Structure 1
Amino acid sequence: MYRERLVNTDVRSDSARRLQQLLLDYHDFRIHKTGHRLLSSTFTVADWQAERLKSTHQDLYQHLGYHTGLEFLLTDLYAPASMTRRDDNIDRVFPKMVKWLPDHQLEMLAGLVELNLITQQLDLELAELLDERDIPASSVTGEHYCEVYRASQKLEQREKQVMLVADVGQQLDRYVRNRALGWLLSMSRAPAEMADLSDLHNFLHRGYLAFRKMDNVDLLISRLVTREQQVMDNILNGHPEPFVLPGDL
């Protein structure tokens, strides 16, 4: 991978330095996770949580105005098993990103990297806590999940994860409202393929299309954050049905 390139890139703004450090942290974590004996369990945990999110937010997930955006969040931003080439490519083009992209776009990318990193760190912790209790990840139930969730030593990170979803979603919404972006993404497809950056390009194009189709991103994010904060409170307080929320949430 491209750790040396990340380290040796000259960065001259706070946004670039933040992105550089997060990419280094994420790079090192990916290496650690790849060699971890519970690697496959982390993917199982991620799949379980993705299905739980779809169930909790079923009304939003089935809504024509939100479905594509939520699908992108769950399958692209929350799909660590299939994004190795994309992540490697981000490391590879980092020197060009900090040279050509404005700070607000570097901040958006930093938020995406931090969200992905925290999510995968939390997945690994849950897999380890399940393993300590001899609970196979493939057999996890809602009760098992809540048990290890309450045993987590990373509850502050879980709170931050929810807020990052809000921040990143709002930044992506502002980003895709730029009318020139769609044209630029279409025109850059062939050069991206020639530079072996098709995975990264496809990721950006899917995100652009997903968020362009949503009319009221602020409302979606507000509901997601409110509901997930309630789910967290329910789990920590031992609610018998933590994922069943009032109809007005």
Structure 2
Amino acid sequence: MYRERLTDTEVRSESARRLQQLLLDYHDFRHAKAGHRLLESTHDIAGWQASRLKLTHQDLYQQPAYQAGLQFLLTDLYAPASMTRRDDNIDRVFPKMVKWLPDHLLETLSGLVELNLITQQLDLELAERLDERDIQASFLTTEQYCKAYRASQKLEQRKKQVMLVADVGQQLDRYVRNRTLGWLLSMSRTPAEMANLSDLHDFLHRGYSAFRKMDKVDLLIDRLVAREQRVMENIINGHPEPFTLPDDL
């Protein structure tokens, strides 16, 4: 709907240009995916992976200081549910973003958009691998998931996906330490609602609130990355229990 906003906006920096291209790629993918015959399968896969992530990192979820932050990292960023309105609104306000936001924030937004794009591309590819084997995503087992995962043509993207979670998480942590950002989010709630941007505002405020409650975010992210890299290795190597990790991870 808002593709012309992206194409018609003049950008003056490499950061703005990168964000513009990623938003165009993401916009086109979302609209192609919306009409794909395996759309429901991608939703089932996203839900399956979100549950798996929560189970793998259950010990961290049980720590009150980490619950909200992990929910944001692993649900909003790593295994996002439908965010159509939020994504459309990002397209809609792109001209204002590149005009008012500094390059370092545009880079963080670029990382977020790229992460969402890669995640949804991987979910669709996995749905296609399952479909080739006549496996219903709604009744997915660990063994079936791992077989489809190993048949993937995008293993390098899966590695990049994990590192993008780390990069975006670390950048968000730096920003939430700025008290001005919290004040701005609080003051902008009513204008956001009036501009029909409440879903985008809620997403930003949820991330801000979650990260403000956490200490030593860098250690948490390092642990998440190490665990997910081990899970990936286990799956690729055909480990019989790929999601069972040693106590020191």
Cα distance in 2 for partners of 1:214, 1:130 equals 38
- How far apart are residue 77 of structure 1 and its match? 2.5
Letter in 2 for 1:137: A
Secondary structure, aligned partner of 2:70? helix
Cα distance in 1 for partners of 2:161, 2:76 equals 16
Cα distance in 1 for partners of 2:81, 2:171 equals 25
Cα distance in 2 for partners of 1:192, 1:54 equals 31
Q: How many residues align?
A: 249
Residues 35-74 of structure 1 mapped to structure 2, 5 A cutoff:
35-74=35-74
State the match for 2:172 in structure 1: 172
Letter in 2 for 1:168: V
**CA contact under 8 A between 2:22 and 2:114: conserved in structure 1?**
yes
- How far apart are residue 76 of structure 1 and its match? 2.4
TM-score by length of 2: 0.98
- How far apart are residue 21 of structure 1 and its match? 0.5
Letter in 2 for 1:191: P
Cα distance in 2 for partners of 1:162, 1:82 equals 20
State the match for 2:106 in structure 1: 106
Residues 86-125 of structure 1 mapped to structure 2, 5 A cutoff:
86-125=86-125
Cα distance in 1 for partners of 2:243, 2:2 equals 41
- How far apart are residue 196 of structure 1 and its match? 0.9
TM-score by length of 1: 0.98
- How far apart are residue 62 of structure 1 and its match? 1.4
State the match for 1:141 in structure 2: 141
CA RMSD of aligned residues (A): 0.9
Cα distance in 2 for partners of 1:63, 1:153 equals 37
State the match for 2:217 in structure 1: 217
State the match for 2:14 in structure 1: 14
Cα distance in 2 for partners of 1:45, 1:78 equals 12
- How far apart are residue 78 of structure 1 and its match? 4.5
Letter in 2 for 1:153: Q
Cα distance in 1 for partners of 2:71, 2:80 equals 14
Secondary structure, aligned partner of 1:37? coil
**CA contact under 8 A between 2:77 and 2:165: conserved in structure 1?**
no
Secondary structure, aligned partner of 2:153? coil
Cα distance in 1 for partners of 2:75, 2:194 equals 25
- How far apart are residue 14 of structure 1 and its match? 0.8
Cα distance in 2 for partners of 1:77, 1:159 equals 15
- How far apart are residue 61 of structure 1 and its match? 1.4
Cα distance in 2 for partners of 1:76, 1:146 equals 23
Letter in 2 for 1:88: D
Letter in 1 for 2:36: H
Letter in 2 for 1:73: L
State the match for 1:241 in structure 2: 241
Question: CA separation of 1:79/1:241 partners in 2, compared to 1, >3 Å: closer, same or farther?
Answer: closer
Structure 1 stretches of 4+ moved >6 Å: none
Residues 21-32 of structure 1 mapped to structure 2, 5 A cutoff:
21-32=21-32
Question: What is the CA deviation profile of residues 182-233 of structure 1, one whole-angstrom value per residue up to 9, with x for unaligned ones?
Answer: 1111101111111111111111011100010010110110001000000000
Cα distance in 2 for partners of 1:80, 1:30 equals 13
Percent identity over the alignment is 82
- How far apart are residue 64 of structure 1 and its match? 1.0
State the match for 1:228 in structure 2: 228
- How far apart are residue 175 of structure 1 and its match? 1.0
Cα distance in 1 for partners of 2:139, 2:232 equals 22
Residues 144-223 of structure 1 mapped to structure 2, 5 A cutoff:
144-223=144-223
Cα distance in 2 for partners of 1:79, 1:122 equals 11
Cα distance in 2 for partners of 1:178, 1:4 equals 34
Cα distance in 1 for partners of 2:134, 2:115 equals 29
Cα distance in 2 for partners of 1:187, 1:3 equals 29
